[in-house]
């Protein structure tokens, strides 16, 4: 259906239809009726009043504050029902660790609905239970506003799918809502390693004598354990046996829910005409961060406010979406990170139990090392001791060894193309740029991608290492770093642009072909990067040999320059990356086809470079762990690629993603590439460097301490602040061997004062 006929509505909606009688729809109805008693509001709910899926509901203090401000009557009723607690218990291989200071409030879902039913009836809302709502198009014609709060399987959303443009993604775990007739004394996560695979319990109290219990496992575990052939009662009994210790031998109670897989719902648009989506109809977020009801209630608050603040329904719905979409997107990113962590739970089981607990607590990236230290300093300090942090030393300032090189801290200045070389020769700009970052305290400073031949440049401004003149210029940079920033290692990244070469400088048009002065391109296969790009020639066997020799010669020069580490660039769609991805390698010879064959030439280059690179100096490899495109490199492929390079002597894998094909669809977000590094670290058993939207020292500490990475590479933060690492130490009050202020800079190792802070506070207020 491409359109919706709407009635001519007054500036404020007077006749409102709400489809769905869950907490979000009911609360929206109550708010709108309270704001304007003249409104005629009808709620349609196809189920009975006391039907509910799930048992308990968790709300945050932030959400409760919004409810208190908007409707004190509802807030007062809720406050009398809440069970509150602060602790999270995590049980891993029989060991329980408790972390406090979290602050939860929960109540029974059925009681929440009763409170909202009572409030709606008292205000005069027409509640129609066991009644299917009229067709959305009819509601839209006969009402000023239609609020579609009809859940994850929203009929309204599907009716106008062309307009809302929903994306619904099913995930890999099965879960079942159950209840126990006693109250846990904390939010409890418990892991069971059964003969069929890993199963987890999420449990929390919602009354003085009752708890919600969610049991979750991968689909293959669910099938192997025989749950597919059990009814819900049998499943509850089986789950009670699996988690008999957590439950104290008590049974589990089944409700109306059944085993299901979680579905992530995203909509391109939240409104169409006078129809608007709310709650799970608009968006979902995994239950492991306790957000579904919270988001729905916050949607209702925002929608009601926008309808009051704007003169027309259309403007109000636009404002509602603009206000809520960024909040929801952030929550969905956190929920996805949490969901995926539990999907890959098996990867983390061999961690020490306390570190496992820290990893679980920080899985969504919203709770961090610093945040946990504020909540429970004793727990966090114990995790740090278990990790090996000396007293007063943040995780980021612990050393890390790669072959014969010991980095004094875990911070890497990520390779960043500067496009400032002339004929491939790094000049004063590179000396100042890299010299400043070396003085800034990072454990390792990486050059930009240094090209192995003139034809291997991305742009005319790219630096190279194919000539003696370039080598001498790089030696100058390395010597400065070693002399003036002793203890800071400097690494070189070698690469070849492949099909992404002969383009303009980034600020003149990224990936745009040069207007003139182009050079011919070569690649694994004759596929242009974009429709505007030059089509490369497919490399012949003889050319592959020549290319391998170019890499070897550049590596030999790099060694003579004194670089401490060499990284081979096999990511981002450049030449070696082009061999690895099935989207860019269509060869039919021994270098194309299966992953093993696509790896062959990059491994040949690696072996050739390793043969001339000094034995005591480490080599790393940067890869794109996913192409973010259908048919491309997958996370599973990335593990195999990492294993192959590690088997050939790579000391660490620098885990990036994407930039391989122009039509990619990355899932951006804070630390969004880290899960790929985490998986490679645990499955391939090789040290990793995480990179991608890691922006704070708190992120670095969190990722290192959780065991998701060994090193963190940061790019933009080091452009914003060349002394990012020094300042991170100052802000954390750290002074020690993990970071050293250059002698001329020591006077700046304390944050400058910005104004007077000791003025007397006002004591009296005198009336006029």
pLDDT tens, residue by residue, 283-337 = 999 999 877 888 999 999 999 999 999 999 999 999 999 999 999 999 999 999 9
Q: Between helices 541-561 and 468-484, what is the axis angle to 10°?
A: 40
- Yes or no: say if 592 and 586 are a contact pair by the CB < 8 Å rule: yes
The pLDDT of residue 3 is above 70: no
- By mean pLDDT, which of 76-90, 624-638, 683-697 is the weakest? 76-90
- Extract the tokens encoding 462: 């790219």
| pLDDT value of residue 197 | 96
- Phi/psi class of residue 139: alpha, beta or left (left: φ > 0; alpha: ψ in -120 to 50)? alpha
- Yes or no: say if 254 and 235 are a contact pair by the CB < 8 Å rule: yes
The pLDDT of residue 765 is above 50: no
Mean pLDDT score of the chain: 93
Roughly how many angstroms between the first and final C-alpha of the chain, as a whole number? 66
What single DSSP character describes residue 459?
S
| pLDDT value of residue 636 | 96
| pLDDT value of residue 53 | 66
- By mean pLDDT, which of 447-451, 523-527, 704-708, 739-743 is the weakest? 739-743
Long-range contacts of 431-434 (CB under 8 A, 24+ apart): 431/476, 431/477, 431/480, 434/477, 434/481, 434/490
What is d(CA 456, CA 469) in angstroms, rounded to the nearest whole number? 17
What is d(CA 47, CA 150) in angstroms, rounded to the nearest whole number? 11
Q: Is 610 exposed, middle or buried (0-12, 13-18, 19+ CB in 10 A)?
A: middle
Backbone angles phi, psi at 176, to 5 degrees: -140, 130
The pLDDT of residue 478 is above 60: yes
| pLDDT value of residue 750 | 79
| pLDDT value of residue 755 | 62
- Pure H helices in 450-592: 468-484, 506-509, 541-561, 575-580
Backbone angles phi, psi at 61, to 5 degrees: -60, -35
- Yes or no: say if 590 and 516 are a contact pair by the CB < 8 Å rule: no
Q: How confident is the model at residue 71 (pLDDT cuts 50, 70, 90)?
A: confident
Average pLDDT value for residue range 702-731 = 96
What is d(CA 155, CA 166) in angstroms, rounded to the nearest whole number? 12
Average pLDDT value for residue range 246-275 = 95
Q: What is the DSSP string of 506-538?
A: HHHHTTPBPSS-----EESSS--SSTTSPPPEE
Q: Which residues pair with 92 in a beta bridge?
A: 95
What is d(CA 325, CA 307) in angstroms, rounded to the nearest whole number? 17
Average pLDDT value for residue range 13-18 = 94
- Yes or no: say if 587 and 524 are a contact pair by the CB < 8 Å rule: yes
Residue owning tokens 């048919």: 631
- By mean pLDDT, which of 362-366, 548-552, 647-651, 723-727 is the weakest? 362-366
The pLDDT of residue 699 is above 90: yes
- Yes or no: say if 407 and 687 are a contact pair by the CB < 8 Å rule: no
- Yes or no: say if 576 and 495 are a contact pair by the CB < 8 Å rule: yes
The pLDDT of residue 388 is above 90: yes
For the sheet containing 126-129, what is the strand order?
A: 126-129, 40-45, 15-19, 145-148, 275-277, 271-272
What is d(CA 131, CA 152) in angstroms, rounded to the nearest whole number? 18
What is d(CA 687, CA 115) in angstroms, rounded to the nearest whole number? 53
- Extract the tokens encoding 64: 């409760």
| pLDDT value of residue 10 | 56
- Extract the tokens encoding 359: 């990893």
Average pLDDT value for residue range 400-424 = 97
CA atoms within a 13 Å half-sphere pointing along the CA-CB vector of 712? 34
For the chain, the helix, strand and coil percentages under 3-state DSSP, each to the nearest 5 = 40, 20, 40
The pLDDT of residue 518 is above 50: yes
| pLDDT value of residue 61 | 75
Q: How confident is the model at residue 4 (pLDDT cuts 50, 70, 90)?
A: low
| pLDDT value of residue 767 | 44
- Yes or no: say if 58 and 102 are a contact pair by the CB < 8 Å rule: no
For residue 113, give the H/E element and its range: helix 109-123
What is d(CA 434, CA 260) in angstroms, rounded to the nearest whole number? 53
What single DSSP character describes residue 503?
B
Q: How confident is the model at residue 746 (pLDDT cuts 50, 70, 90)?
A: confident
| pLDDT value of residue 49 | 86
Backbone angles phi, psi at 213, to 5 degrees: -130, 120
Average pLDDT value for residue range 605-616 = 98
What single DSSP character describes residue 134?
P
| pLDDT value of residue 768 | 39
The pLDDT of residue 751 is above 50: yes
Residue from 634, 495, 645, 476 nearest 563 by CA: 476
Report the percentage of the chain scoring pLDDT > 70.
96
| pLDDT value of residue 2 | 45
Which residues are catalytically annotated? 574
pLDDT tens-digit series, residues 94-147: 999 999 998 888 999 999 999 999 999 999 999 999 999 999 999 999 999 999
| pLDDT value of residue 376 | 95
Residue owning tokens 């890390």: 400
Residue owning tokens 């210790």: 245
What is d(CA 346, CA 23) in angstroms, rounded to the nearest whole number? 35
Report the percentage of the chain scoring pLDDT > 90.
86
- Yes or no: say if 416 and 715 are a contact pair by the CB < 8 Å rule: yes
| pLDDT value of residue 69 | 82
What is d(CA 481, CA 489) in angstroms, rounded to the nearest whole number? 8
The pLDDT of residue 758 is above 60: no
What is d(CA 448, CA 445) in angstroms, rounded to the nearest whole number? 10
Q: Is 590 exposed, middle or buried (0-12, 13-18, 19+ CB in 10 A)?
A: exposed
| pLDDT value of residue 68 | 82
| pLDDT value of residue 51 | 73
| pLDDT value of residue 605 | 98
- 439 to each of 431, 566, 732, how far by Cα in Å? 12, 20, 19
- Pure H helices in 248-375: 292-309, 313-343, 353-361, 369-375
Q: How confident is the model at residue 763 (pLDDT cuts 50, 70, 90)?
A: very low
- Extract the tokens encoding 9: 């509505």
């Amino acid at each position: 259906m491409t359109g919706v006929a709407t009635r001519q509505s007054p500036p404020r909606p007077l006749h409102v239809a709400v489809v769905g009688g869950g907490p979000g729809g009911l609360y929206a109805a109550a708010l709108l009726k309270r704001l304007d008693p003249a409104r005629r509001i009808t709620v349609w709910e196809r189920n009975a009043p006391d039907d509910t899926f799930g048992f308990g509901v968790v709300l945050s203090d932030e959400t409760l504050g919004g409810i208190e401000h908007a409707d004190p009557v509802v807030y007062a009723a809720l406050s009398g029902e809440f069970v509150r607690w602060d602790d999270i218990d995590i049980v891993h291989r029989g060991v329980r660790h408790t972390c406090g200071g979290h602050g939860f409030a929960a109540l029974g879902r059925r009681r929440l609905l009763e409170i909202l039913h009572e409030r709606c009836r008292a205000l005069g809302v027409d509640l129609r239970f066991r009644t299917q709502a009229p067709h959305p198009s009819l509601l839209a014609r006969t009402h000023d506003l239609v609020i579609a709060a009809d859940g994850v399987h929203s009929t309204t959303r599907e009716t106008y799918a062309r307009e809302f443009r929903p994306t619904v993604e099913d995930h890999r775990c099965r879960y079942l809502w159950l209840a126990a007739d006693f109250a846990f004394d904390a939010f409890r996560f418990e892991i069971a390693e059964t003969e069929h695979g890993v199963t987890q319990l999420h449990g929390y109290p919602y009354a003085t004598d009752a708890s919600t219990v969610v049991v979750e496992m991968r689909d293959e575990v669910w099938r192997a354990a025989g749950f597919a052939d059990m009814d819900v009662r049998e499943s509850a009994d089986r789950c009670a046996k699996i988690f008999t210790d957590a439950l104290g031998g008590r049974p589990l109670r089944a409700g109306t829910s059944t085993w299901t897989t979680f579905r992530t719902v995203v909509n391109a648009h939240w409104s169409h005409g006078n129809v608007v989506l709310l709650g799970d109809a608009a968006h979902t977020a995994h239950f492991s961060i306790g957000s579904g009801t919270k988001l729905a209630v916050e949607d209702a608050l925002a929608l009601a406010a926008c309808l009051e603040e704007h003169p027309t329904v259309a403007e109000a719905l636009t404002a509602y979406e603009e206000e809520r979409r960024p909040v929801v997107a952030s929550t969905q990113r956190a929920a996805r990170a949490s969901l995926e962590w539990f999907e890959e739970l098996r990867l983390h089981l061999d961690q020490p139990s306390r570190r496992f607990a820290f990893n679980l607590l920080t899985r969504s990236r919203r709770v961090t090392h610093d945040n946990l230290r504020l909540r429970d300093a004793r727990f966090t300090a114990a995790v740090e001791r278990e990790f090996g942090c000396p007293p007063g030393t943040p995780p980021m300032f612990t050393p890390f060894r790669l072959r014969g090189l010991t980095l004094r801290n875990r911070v890497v200045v990520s390779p960043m193309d500067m496009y400032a070389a002339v004929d491939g020769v790094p000049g004063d700009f590179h000396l100042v740029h890299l010299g400043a970052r070396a003085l800034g305290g990072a454990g390792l400073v990486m050059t930009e991608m240094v090209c192995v031949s003139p034809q291997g440049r991305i742009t005319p401004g790219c630096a190279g290492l194919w000539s003696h003149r370039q080598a001498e210029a790089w030696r100058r940079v390395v010597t400065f770093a070693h002399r003036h920033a002793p203890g800071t290692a400097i690494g070189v990244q070698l690469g070849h642009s492949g099909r992404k070469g002969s383009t303009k400088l980034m600020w003149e048009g990224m990936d745009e072909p040069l207007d003139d002065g182009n050079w011919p391109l070569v690649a694994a296969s004759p596929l242009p990067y974009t429709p505007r790009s030059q089509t490369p020639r497919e490399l012949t066997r003889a050319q592959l040999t020549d290319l391998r020799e170019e890499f070897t010669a550049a590596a030999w020069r790099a060694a003579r320059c004194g670089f401490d580490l060499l990284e081979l660039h096999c990511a981002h769609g450049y030449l070696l990356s082009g061999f690895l991805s099935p989207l860019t390698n269509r060869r039919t010879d021994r270098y194309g086809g299966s992953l093993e064959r696509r790896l062959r030439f990059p491994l040949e280059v690696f072996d050739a470079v390793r043969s001339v690179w000094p034995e005591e100096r480490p080599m790393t490899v940067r890869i794109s762990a996913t192409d973010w495109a259908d048919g491309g490199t997958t996370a599973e492929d990335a593990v195999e690629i990492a294993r192959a390079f590690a088997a050939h002597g790579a000391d660490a894998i620098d885990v990036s993603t994407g930039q391989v094909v122009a039509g990619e669809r990355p899932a951006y977000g804070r630390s969004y590439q880290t899960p790929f590094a985490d998986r490679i670290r645990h499955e391939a058993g090789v040290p990793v460097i995480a990179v991608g939207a890691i922006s704070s020292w708190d992120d670095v500490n969190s990722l290192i301490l959780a065991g998701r990475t060994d090193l963190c590479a940061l790019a933009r933060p080091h452009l914003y602040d060349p002394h990012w690492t020094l300042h991170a130490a100052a802000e954390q009050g750290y002074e020690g061997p993990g970071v050293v202020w250059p002698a001329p800079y020591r006077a700046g190792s304390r944050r400058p004062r910005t104004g007077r802070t000791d003025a007397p506070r006002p004591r009296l207020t005198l009336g006029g």
